[in-house]
Amino acid sequence: MKEQQAWHSKTAEQVFHLLSTSNKGLTDNEITARTEQYGPNRLTPAKKQHPVIKFLSQFKNILIYVLLVAAVVTALLDHWIDAWVILSVVIINALVGFVQEGKAEKALDAIKNLLSPQAMVRRNNRTFTIPSDQLVPGDIVILQSGDKVPADMRLFSVRNLRIDESLLTGESLPAEKNSKTVKSDTPLAERANMTFSGTLVTYGKGEGVVTETGDQTEIGRISSMLGKVETLETPLLRRIDEFARTLTVAIVLLSALLFGFGVFARGYSLTQMFNAAVGLAVAAIPEGLPAIMTIALAIGVEAMAHRKAIIRRLPAIETLGSVSVICTDKTGTLTRNEMTVKSVALPGKRFEVTGSGYDPHGTFQLDGREIDLRNHSQMRAIAHASLLCNDATLQFRDEQWTISGDPTEGALCVLGKKAGYDPDLERQNWPRIDLIPFESEHRFMATLHHDHTDRTFIYLKGAPEVVLERCTKQRHGEAEEPLNYQYWENITQKMAAQGHRLLAIASKKTISGQETLTFEDVASGLTLIGIVGMIDPPRDEAIVAVKRCQQAGIRVKMITGDHVDTARAIGKMTGIGDGSKALTGTEIEAMSDEELQQKVNGIDVFARSSPEHKIRLVKALQSNGSVVAMTGDGVNDAPALKRADVGIAMGQKGTEVSREASEMILADDNFATIASAVEQGRTVYDNLKKSILFVLPTNGGEALSILFAVALGYTLPVTAVQILWVNMVTAVTLALTLAFEKAENNVMERKPRKSGEPILSGFIVWRIVYVSLILLSGTFGLFLWYEKAGYSHDMARTVAVNTLVMFEIFYLLSSRFFVASVFSKKGLLGNPAVLYAIGILIVLQSLFNYTPFMQTLFATVPIGLSDWLTILLVSSSVLFLVELEKYILRKRRADSLTI
C-alpha cells in the first residue's frame, strides 16, 4: 500500500521508484491493479441532507404555521374533521414539495456529471487523453496552459510552468514551478516541484507523476470544500420568494383585519369569522408558486443540456433571455474547424492544392496544371517545415482520415503528406530539440531541430505579419534574396479576402549544438519560405442561427484572432457585418475607452484581437447598456468570460480555465447552440411568467370571493378546507404543466427583454386582476344563484368549488400563450402535460364529489348533469373572455407590448 510521503523532498527518480513507474508511464496490468487498489480519482461527494431533515424543512413556511395554528384552533372548537383535513393537506403539501425539490436536484446533478474533466496521460509510452477520474498513482500526466490539474503530482519536467493555486493557498498570483527537490518541511505554497488537484495551469507546460488521487489529494483533505452544495436559486426566484413572503405577511394581517371587521362590524360569530379568516389566508397565499418556479427552472436546465448547452451557474438561464449582443469566436464556432490547405504562395507564384478534408490525397497545381514536386524544392521545403513545426498527427481509422491536435496543424500534416513525406519518418530524422508553443498572444510557433550531421535550424510558422516582421530574406528556389515585403503584403490580402486562414512559414540556420530556443532567437534574421492559405468552411447551421439571432433583436459580433480580411470574408459568408467594416486589435489599442464605446455598436467584425481586447469590448458594450454573451476558450479569455453577462466556454477545444470562468459551456462548440440556448432562456423565462400568470389569479379569485361574502354579509361560498383542497390538487396537476411549455412561435421574433425589468409588468398585473374578477363573478355568482334557488349551503358550495376548479382548467388552456390565440389544434392539444393534468384533476374532482368519504371530509354533495352543464357554461367563459382580450391586444399591435 502506498504511504503518504513528503514527495516534494524526493528526487524524481526516487518518486518513480517509490511508485514503481517511469517517465514512459504505467503498463496495462499495473493500471488495472491500481484502479482496484485506489479506486476512482474522484472526491467523495458531499453528504446530502438526510431525507427526513429535507422533508421537515418543507414546514419552514409561514403558510404552514398559519395552517398549523388553524388546525389547533379548529380542533379546540371541536371541528375535528376540519382539523384533520387541514393537517393532512399540510403533510401532503410538504410531501409534494419534497418530491419536487428532489427532482429538481436530480436534474442538476445529472448536468454536473456532464462536466467531467479530462487529463492527458502517458501510459505504455503512448500519450492520450482519458477522463481524469481514471488516473491512478504512478500515472504520468502532461500539463499545459489552460488545464485543471487532475491530481496531486510531483513534477519532473517543467517549461515555464505557472499555476494558479489560489484555491489552496489563497495566493492570487500564479506560482512558478520547477522540478527541483525541496526540504521536507517546505510549506505547501512553496513546494515548487508539486502541483495539486483542482489548481489551474495558467502558462507553460510540464510533466509530472501522480502521487495522490481522490480524497488523498490536498484538496480532498480540506473538508470544507466538500460541503459546498449548489442550491437552486436565481435572482428571479429570490425575488419571487421574497414577493411570496411579503404577500403572505400582508395576507395574514388582512385576515386578522377581516376577522375583526366580521366580528365587530358585521356581528358574525367567532367561529364563523375564524373560518373566514383562515379561508382568506389559504385562498390568497400563493404557497405553491416558488416550488413551481424551481421546477420550471430545473426543466429548463435539463432541456438546454439536451441541446448541448450546459449551464454552470443557474442565474445564467435568466440572463440568456435578455442577451442583446453575442460576441463569438470564429474558428470552430462559426466555422467547422476542419482546415484544408488550398493554396501556397511562393515568390512570384501561387500554387493550388487539390483534395478535400484530411484525406492526404491531392496534387499541387500551377495555373491549373499539376506540377512535379521533384522540380520544386521550395514547395518541398514548405511542406517539410509544415510537418516539423507541428504537433498534430494524422491517422486512418474506421475508413476515415482524422487528425489529433490542432486542426490548423492537422491541415499542414496533410499538406506534408500530399507532398510525399511520411510525417513520422521526418520527425525521427529531424528530431525536435526545443520549441516555443503557439499562443494566441504571439501568434506563432517555433521549433528547433538538428539532423544526423548535427546541423541545427529553426522553423517558424505563424500569422503572416508576425512572421514577415522577423524575416529579412526570402527563399527563391535554392537561393536566398532580400525580402519583398510589398509582394507578400499584397498576396496576403488577396488570399485573406477569399476567406483563407493564412500561415507564413520561415526558417533560420543556427549554431550547431544549440539546445534551447528563446524568443530572441526568432526575433529577427529569418528567411521566409512561403505562405499557405487554408479554408475552414462556415457551419451551415451557424449561418441560420446568426440570422435567427438577428431577427430576435440580438446583434452578433465576431471577435477573432485571424487576419482582418479573412475575418471580413467569413463574416460576410455567415451574415455578420457588411463585409467591409471591421476593427483590428491595433486599432482598438489606439482608441480610448470612450471612443471604443462610441464605435463598438456599429461594428460587427473584430480581427487580430487578443483577450485584452475582448475585455475592453465587453466593457464598452456594457457601458452602452447591452447585455453581453461572450465566447472564449483560452486561459487568457477568463477575465472577459467573467466580465460578460453570460460567459460561454467551449466544451471541446476550450481549456479548463475558461470553463471555470464561464456561466455556460457549449458541448459542441457550435454557434447554433448559443442561439438555441438563448431561445431556451427566453422560453424558461416565459414559462416562469406563465406560471405566475396562472397561479395568482386563482388566489385572487378565491380571496375576493371570501372578502365579498364577508363584506356583503353572506355565508362563505367556499370553506377553508375546500380552498385547501382546490389549491392542493391544482398545484400538483395544472400549475406544473406550464413548466413544460415549448417556445412560443414568436419567441425569437421579440426584442430581448430589458435587464432588470420587473416581473410583474403592467400587462401581467392587468391580466391577474382581469382573470381574478372573472373567477370571482363566476364562482360567487353561481353560489348566490344556487342559494337563491333554495339549495342547501353544501350544494351551493359544491357547485362553487367545482366552478373554481373548472375555471382553472379553462384558464390553463388560455395561459399557454401570452397573446397568441389557443383556438387551434396546437393551442388546445399541443402540450400533453396539460392534457394529462386535466385528466388527473377530473378523476380527483370526481372522488371529491362522489365518494362518501370525501363528502364527509369536505361537506360536498353529489351534483347532477344539469349542474355540470351550468358549471361548464359559466367556467368556460374565462377561456373566451381571455381569448377576446388577447384578440384586442393583438389588434392593437401586441407584439410591441412588454409582457
| Catalytic site positions | 329
Closer residue to ligand ATP in complex, CB, 102/537: 537
Q: Name the minimum Å distance from CB 476 to ligand ATP.
A: 23
Which amino acid type is present at position 783?
Answer: F
Task: Using the minimum distance from each CB to ligand ATP, give the nearer residue, 576 or 692.
Answer: 576
CB of 337 to ligand ATP, least distance (A): 8
* C-alpha grid cell, residue 478: 535554392
Decide whether 79 or 443 has the Cβ nearer to ligand ATP: 443
CB of 536 to ligand ATP, least distance (A): 8
Q: How far is the CB of 653 from ligand ATP (least distance, A)?
A: 8
Residues that bind ligand ATP (CB under 6 A): 329-331, 406, 408-409, 438, 440, 443-445, 461-463, 501-503, 560-563
336 CB-near residues (< 8 Å, 6+ apart): 536, 537, 538, 539
Smaller CB separation from ligand ATP, 501 or 643: 501
Residues 6 or more apart in contact with residue 627 via CB below 8 angstroms: 319, 322, 323, 324, 325, 645, 646, 752, 755
**In angstroms, what is the minimal distance from the CB of 405 to ligand ATP?**
9
**Cα–Cα distance list, 7 to 17, 142, 554, 816 (Å):** 12, 18, 54, 63
**Phi (first) and psi of residue 331, to 5 degrees:** -65, 120
Q: How far is the CB of 584 from ligand ATP (least distance, A)?
A: 12
Using alpha carbons, select from 630, 688, 42, 672 the residue that is nearest to residue 301: 688
Q: Which residue lies nearer to ligand ATP by CB, 119 or 564?
A: 564
Identity of the residue, 93 or 331, whose beta carbon is nearer to ligand ATP in the bound complex? 331
Q: Which is nearer to ligand ATP, 502 or 709 (CB)?
A: 502
Contacting residues for 13 by C-beta, under 8 A, at least 6 apart: none
> Closer to ligand ATP at the Cβ: 16 or 444?
444
Output the smallest distance, CB 335 to ligand ATP, in A.
8
Instruction: Tell me how far the alpha carbon of residue 691 is from its chain's centroid.
Output: 23
Q: 439 or 541, CB closer to ligand ATP?
A: 439
Collapse the DSSP code of 162 into the 3-class scheme (helix H, G, I; strand E, B; otherwise coil) and give the result.
strand
The neighbour count for residue 500, using CB atoms within 10 Å, is 26
The partner residues of 153 in beta bridges, in order of sequence, read: 195, 210
Could you give phi then psi for residue 233, rounded to 5 degrees?
-150, 135
Max CA-CA distance within the chain? Answer: 115
What pairs with residue 584 in β-bridges?
Answer: 607
- The one-letter amino acid at 502: L
DSSP 573: H
How near is the Cβ of 426 to ligand ATP at its closest, in Å?
A: 17
How many residues in the chain? 899
Q: Which is nearer to ligand ATP, 154 or 443 (CB)?
A: 443
- Residue by residue, DSSP assigns 506-525 as EEEEE-TT-----TGGGTS-
- The least CB distance from residue 817 to ligand ATP, in Å, is 39
CB 515 within 8 A of CB 433: yes
Contact in structure between 615 and 634 (CB atoms under 8 Å): no
Nearest of 473, 468, 466 to residue 509 by alpha carbon = 473
How far apart, in whole angstroms, are the C-alpha atoms of residue 460 and residue 508?
Answer: 8
What type of residue sits at position 637?
A: D
Helices assigned H by DSSP within 59-151: 62-76, 80-113
Least separation in angstroms between CB 413 and ligand ATP: 11
Contact predicate 775/807, CB 8 Å: yes
Distance (Å) of CA 329 to CA 83, 607, 873: 63, 10, 58
CB of 631 to ligand ATP, least distance (A): 8
Spell out the residues 6+ positions from residue 252 whose beta carbon is closer than 8 angstroms to its own: 62, 66, 281
Mutual orientation of helices 671-712 and 720-732 as an angle, nearest 10°? 170
Whichever of 330 and 470 has its CB closer to ligand ATP, that residue is 330
Q: Are 821 and 887 in contact (CB under 8 A)?
A: yes
In Å, how far are 115, 506, 746 from 891, measured between CA atoms?
Answer: 47, 67, 16
Q: In angstroms, rounded to a whole number, what is the distance separating the alpha carbons of residues 15 and 25?
A: 13
**Complete DSSP assignment for 593-651:** HHHHHHHHTT--EEES--HHHHHHHHHHHHHTT--EEEEE-SGGGHHHHHHSSEEEEES
Minimum CB–partner distance for residue 240 and ligand ATP (Å): 39
Which residue is associated with the grid cell 373566451? 880
> Phi and psi at residue 100, in whole multiples of 5°?
-65, -45
Which CB, 505 or 729, lies closer to ligand ATP?
505
Closer by beta carbon to ligand ATP, 281 or else 640: 640
Contact 763, 897 (CB under 8 A): yes
Q: State which residue has the least CB distance to ligand ATP.
A: 561
Which residues are within 8 A (CB) of 162 and not within 5 positions of it... i.e. 6 or more apart?
174, 175, 176, 177, 201, 202, 203, 204
Closest separation in Å from C-beta 120 to ligand ATP: 17
